[in-house]
Amino acid sequence: MDSSAESINYYGHKPAEQVEDREKKLKPTERADRARELYFSARSSTSMEFPYWYTRRWDELDGEIPVIRRAESLKAGFEHLTPVIYPGELLAMGKASYLRGSYPMPWLSEAFFMASEDKMYKEALESGKLTADIFTTVGKGGGNVTKSVGSVISIAGKFGLRVEEMPVMLEVAKKWKNRSVDDVGHKYEQMVPAYKEKEAIMRSVICMFDSGYTLPQGREVMNYYYPLQYGIDGIIRICEDAMNEVAGFPEMDRLYFYKAVITMLQGIRSWIRNYAEEASFLASIEKEEKQKAEYLDMASRLQHISSDPPRNFHDALQMLWIFHVAVLNEDAISGLSPGRVGQVLYPFWKRDVDRGLIDRETTIELLECMRIKFTEIDCFASMGVVGGVLSGNTFNNLAIGGLKKDGTSAANELEMLILETGISCETPQPTLSVLYDEKSPEEFLLKGIECTKAGAGYPAWVNNQVAMEFLLNNYGHEGMQLEEARAWAIGGCLESSPGSWMPLNLDGEIHWIPGGSAPATSVGVHFISLPKILETVIFDGMDMRTGERIFPSHGYTLETYEELWQGFKDYFSRAVYVLTLTNNIQHDAWRKISPSLVNSMLKPDCLEKGRDIGQLGARYNTTFNVESCGNTTLVNSLASLKKNVYDDKNFSLDVYRKAILENFGYHTAQETGSYSLIDQKPAGHYSEYRKIHRQSLDAPKFGNDDPYVDALFKQWEDWFCEMTHNYRSLYDQPMYACQISVSTHGPMGAVTLASPDGRLSGTTFSDGSVSAYPGTDKNGPYALFSSATCWNHSQSQNSQLNMKIHPSVVRGREGSRKFLELIRAYMRKGGFHVQFNIVDSRMLKQAQADPDKFRSLLVRVAGFTQYWVELGKQIQDEVIARTEYEEL
Amino acid sequence: MNTCTDCKFYLPVDVFKGICKLSKKEILPDDSICDKAEKVAKCKFCSQYTAEKDYLGNCMSTTLAYPDMNAAKCADFEWIRQN
């Protein structure tokens, strides 16, 4: 065994000497393989076409009704996008005119992509908006453009922009100064009396980023019903009829909304037709007959669905993709989940199968092409958002399984093929989630196991009944009944999102298809760093890294554990209070300046009500949340203080304060260049702190079925889930708890001093929300499950458990059965979610040392799968350090 | 028109490279054009465009524009007349 294996946390025995690869290997079709190779060669690229035309039209319409102005601007953007079709594609169209194309949306925020010497950038920095960017590491490999080279300028360490477009980007950005959602929201959020506290909270990275202008949409499930049922012309006719009914009557906003939807759809129709025209052009110059026929087929398909509903499965899949991209083009969005695609498209597919129009091979080829297209999606955002939160991922989560409207299992044959292509064509997008239900067929679940074992990190396993209970509790007052709760799916990486059943009429037969029925379900208070809050409690409101006061003195002597806990609750509540108010203002600016039109048109019941989603047009609107980060690091720290300071009185709190400031005698993570606890190096004065560090590490740790620490975990969860309901969203609805870390545990750990659990300064926090801290779960997976389910998960929008299992443990059919029983045990205990990395940790070490050899290696982080080489080092170190299970 | 990026057969893959729609080969945006090249509609080839400074100009004397923007879908595009 090489020396690197010594720095890996194992549960059970150590693996055999040979580094072990994953078990299941299927190859993609030749077409998908070529497309994926092209993707691997492509860099994230940004362009100015859409924002130029959007801004130009916006400025032409000064004085127009805002929603009409917005629609006209979107229309101008769509109809001027240059079509790009790549050889071999069966599904056409994308966000911009590059394979991994994206573009700035200065109408949301313009400051972060300005040159660093620009005044706007400096102002943003002072307000704390960009602090997270500084402490974020972006992946150095793969498709990221990390440095400016030749004629290409790097933005946010990820996106490349041609130098000839840089001046216009700056000019267009400046046009939005004082007009963007960011600037307008900022102007008014300063009217919140506690605004200065908010700035301090952001500078200390207690909160990772604002909500209203960064990613105002996403973390929700798409609904494709209207275009699939009516086609674009059909929806336009619906709007025209509605306009005739509402023109001149009270609630005039309905008139403008319908007119805006028509305008926007005209833009999308032109966009599709431009692609049809390009496909025809490509056919005209193509010499190879098969490719020529495919271009002609594509042109015909696009021309048809630019007006009319889809005729078959291929049309329907293309239509679904177009509207998915169209929503992504109206806002900066992550976590726009396609939802239960296999159930939405099943009626089209089954009809084609019955008519002999499609076979298994053709379906697989199309589904693999779909995987490639979803993987091409990039989201243009700041480094702190795209690197520190998203790790370059866009979280298009495709859910399978669950229940039908009538309560029977919804799993179907098309979903089996979706799983199959998840194995054969490993890509980060769309990630897959099994909505596990006791009614799910064994064959379906075992197919899911086969896919998880393949090692790409999907599907995640999600508890259908726990989610439904949460949704009924949260949306019951808006009219949700059990039947409709069954229509849910995961939005984003792991956000339970409400849905509804829509009656798709095919040849006179009604098929009830599920789809999202709410706007973004994860906006509001984004990612509060729990360990950093505890740090400020210990230091009476100060951020000792910067020397800045964050909160007023709490006034407690902290002589009892109860005082410490109360101090934590006070500061946490204060942060939620301040951030709720400021984010409500940002979202209000968003809905006024940049209202959603594409997504609103798609979401029931906006078309029926004549209102967009910002005006409560959607069926369900209790959608703001409070997100936590570092749950387990917090609770382990509380347990250590309770044990060592208050119960056993081994050390005073002052001794702890000194040890924290001195990082227990170690160098910081920034100094060592590794963000994992196990790789840290002692400094000269280490021996002074050896005892307190040892006893901090030996204090009870979450994940071992230890009632001492699990009781504190339950206390935190019960309080957190309840207290969020005390805060009201912009839509005057109670908020709820959301517990995912995504990638925030990296940068948030980077700015946090050593914590009382023995974690060292700058190292990452625990991942997920109920994962054990790496290397501290010593009693096996079932003990971890007991700890994780010490509280009721349906109180929260989610919980997140990430595990790493060595491939040898689940090898073969017997391994699959054992693996399924493991997951089933967790689900039956009430666990909401579990996901796995099936990987030999030594392979990850090798990949870190030699990334070029591992371009296609995928790992699971926290609710998403990503190419290893596109992850920042903080997250890479953390994934390596996770406990690797060598036996179950 | 000097480089591939000005050619209607240039298919951009990313900011560094593209594919020739005719030869299917990888090409770079700044590669010199071949004898099959045909000009693509861009602002800098439009009679409505006036250059002002590096990479910036105006459209119809009123609106900000930039020379390398693809203008194939612009309703006001007019080729500059060759003398």
Round to whole Å and give the CA distance between B44 and A371.
38
Q: Under an 8 A CB cutoff, do B14 and A43 touch?
A: yes
What is the model's pLDDT at position A863? 81
Across the interface, whether the CB atoms of B15 and A145 are under 8 A apart is answered yes
The chain A residue lying nearest B72, using CA atoms, is A82
Domains B1-39 and B41-83 share a fold: yes
Pairing of strands A736-738, A624-629: parallel
Q: What is the DSSP string of A745-772?
A: HHHHHHTS---TTSPPTT-----TTTPP
Residues A195, A198, A202, A204, CA torsion sign = positive
Q: Which amino acid is at B69?
A: M
**Would you call B13 and A162 a contact, using CB atoms and an 8 Å cutoff?**
no
Residues in chain A within 8 Å Cβ distance of B2? none
Cβ-defined contact of A98 to B15 (cutoff 8 Å): yes
Beta strands A460-463 and A489-491, pairing class: unpaired
The nearest CA of chain B is from the CA of A282 a distance in Å of: 8
Chain B residues within 8 A (CB-CB) of chain A?
A: 9, 11-17, 19, 21-22, 24, 29-30, 53-56, 63-70, 72-74
Inter-residue contact B15 to B3 (CB < 8 Å)? no
Contact B73, A274 (CB under 8 A): yes
Do the Cβ atoms of A846 and A854 come closer than 8 Å? yes
Please tell me whether residue A560 adopts helix, strand or coil conformation.
coil
Is the Cβ of A165 closer than 8 Å to some Cβ of chain B?
A: yes
Out of A122-131, A400-409, A567-576, A808-817, which region has the weakest mean confidence (pLDDT)? A122-131
pLDDT tens for A745-804 read 999 999 999 999 999 999 999 999 999 999 999 999 999 999 999 999 999 999 999 999
Both tokens of A368, joined, read 């693999």
pLDDT at A136: 64
Could you say which of A379, A493, A721, A790 is catalytic?
Answer: A493
Question: In chain B, what are the domain boundaries?
Answer: 1-39, 41-83
DSSP-derived pairing of the beta strands A802-805 and A884-885: parallel
Helix (H/G/I), strand (E/B), else coil: A244: helix
Looking at the partner chain, which of B15, B53, B65 has a beta carbon nearest the beta carbon of A162? Answer: B15
pLDDT digits (tens, 9 = 90+) for B24-59: 999 999 999 999 999 999 999 999 999 998 899 999
CATH of the domain spanning B41-83, picked from 3.40.50.2000, 2.20.70.100, 3.30.870.10, 3.40.50.2300:
2.20.70.100
Percent of residues in chain A assigned helix, strand, coil, to nearest 5: 50, 10, 40
Determine the residue of chain B that is closest to A101 in CA distance: B14
Cβ–Cβ below 8 Å for A151 and B30: yes
Over residues A3-32, mean pLDDT: 80
Looking up tokens 């007052």, which residue turns up?
A477
CB distance B15–A166 less than 8 Å?
Answer: no
For the stretch A613-667, pLDDT in tens is 999 999 999 999 999 999 999 999 999 999 999 999 999 999 999 999 999 999 9
Rounded to whole angstroms, the Cα distance separating A462 from A67 reads 38
A172 shares contact with chain B (CB less than 8 Å)? yes
Asked if A82 and B15 come within 8 Å (Cβ–Cβ), the reply is no
Q: Residue A520: helix, strand or coil by DSSP?
A: coil
Q: What is the mean pLDDT of residues A392-397?
A: 88
Average pLDDT over residues A153-165: 91
Closest CA to A712 of A797, A780, A627, A790: A790
Q: What average pLDDT score do residues A269-291 get?
A: 98
Q: How far is A225 from chain B (nearest CA, A)?
A: 30
- Catalytic (active site) residue A495: yes
- Beta carbons of A167 and B54 less than 8 Å apart: yes
**Residue-level pLDDT at A564:** 98
Comparing CB atoms, the residue among B11, B17, B74 nearest residue A84 is B11
> Can A493 be counted among the known catalytic residues?
yes
A:B CB pairs within 8 Å: 88
CA atoms of A58 and A77, how far apart (whole Å): 10
Closest CA to A784 of A769, A771, A797, A775: A771
Confidence check: pLDDT of A5 > 50: yes
**CA–CA dist A886, A207 (Å, integer):** 36
Q: Using a CB–CB cutoff of 8 Å, tell me whether A98 touches chain B.
A: yes
Report residue A836 as tokens: 């796995």
Residues 6+ apart with CB under 8 A from A621: A478, A518, A519, A731, A733
Candidate list A495, A535, A878, A884, residue with the active-site label = A495
Mutate to test the interface with A, among B14, B23, B64 (most CBs of A within 10 A): B14
Contacts of A141 (CB under 8 A, 6+ apart): A851, A852, A855, A869, A870
Distance from CA of B69 to the nearest CA of A (A): 7
A823-A828-A832 Cα angle (round to 5): 70
pLDDT tens-digit readout, A679-731: 899 999 999 999 999 999 999 999 999 999 999 999 999 999 999 999 999 99
Residue A122, pLDDT above cutoff 80: no
Q: State CA A98 to chain mean position distance.
A: 23
Which residue does chain B place closest to A271, by CA atoms? B73
Residues 6+ apart with CB under 8 A from A746: A136, A137, A388, A675, A764, A872, A874, A875, A878
Task: Tell if the CB–CB gap between B64 and A166 is shorter than 8 Å.
Answer: no
- Residue in the structure block whose two tokens are 């929300």: A769
pLDDT for B83 beyond 60: no
The pLDDT of residue A521: 95
Query: Phi then psi for A607, rounded to 5 degrees?
Result: -65, -35
The partner residue sitting opposite B55, judged by closest CB among A38, A168, A282, is: A168
Domain B1-39 falls under CATH 2.20.70.100: yes
Closest residue, chain B, to A84 (C-alpha): B11
Q: Which residues of B touch A167 (CB under 8 A)?
A: 53-56, 66
Contact across the interface for B64 and A168, Cβ inside 8 Å: yes
Give the C-alpha separation, A769 to A787, whole Å. 12
* A1 confidence band (pLDDT: 50, 70, 90): very low
Please tell me which residue of chain A has the smallest CA distance to B41.
A82
Q: Which residues of B touch A43 (CB under 8 A)?
A: 14-16
Pick among B15, B19, B42, B64 to test the A interface (most A CBs inside 10 A): B15
Residues from chain A that touch B56, judged by Cβ atoms under 8 A, are: 167-168, 171
In B, which residues are within 8 Å of A170 by CB distance?
A: none
Are the beta carbons of A168 and B73 separated by less than 8 Å? no
Contacts of residue B48, defined as CB under 8 A and 6 or more positions apart, other chains included, come to B59, B60, B76, B77, B78
Cβ pair B66:A98 closer than 8 A: no
Q: How high is the pLDDT of residue A157?
A: 85
Closest residue of A to B55, CA-based?
A: A164
- Closest by CA position to A318, among listed A603, A93, A85: A93
Identity of the residue in A45, A52, A79 whose CB atom sits nearest the CB atom of B15: A45
Q: What is the mean pLDDT of residues A234-253?
A: 97
Q: Do B56 and A56 touch (CB under 8 A)?
A: no
Contact of A285 with chain B, judged by CB distance below 8 Å, is answered with yes
Q: How far is A318 from chain B (nearest CA, A)?
A: 21
The CA distance from A369 to the nearest CA of chain B, in Å, is 17
Are residues A757 and A774 in contact, defined by beta-carbon separation less than 8 angstroms?
no
**pTM exceeding the 0.90 threshold for the entire prediction:** yes
Cα–Cα distance, A366 to A357 (Å, whole number): 14
Distance of CA A211 to the CA centre of its chain: 13
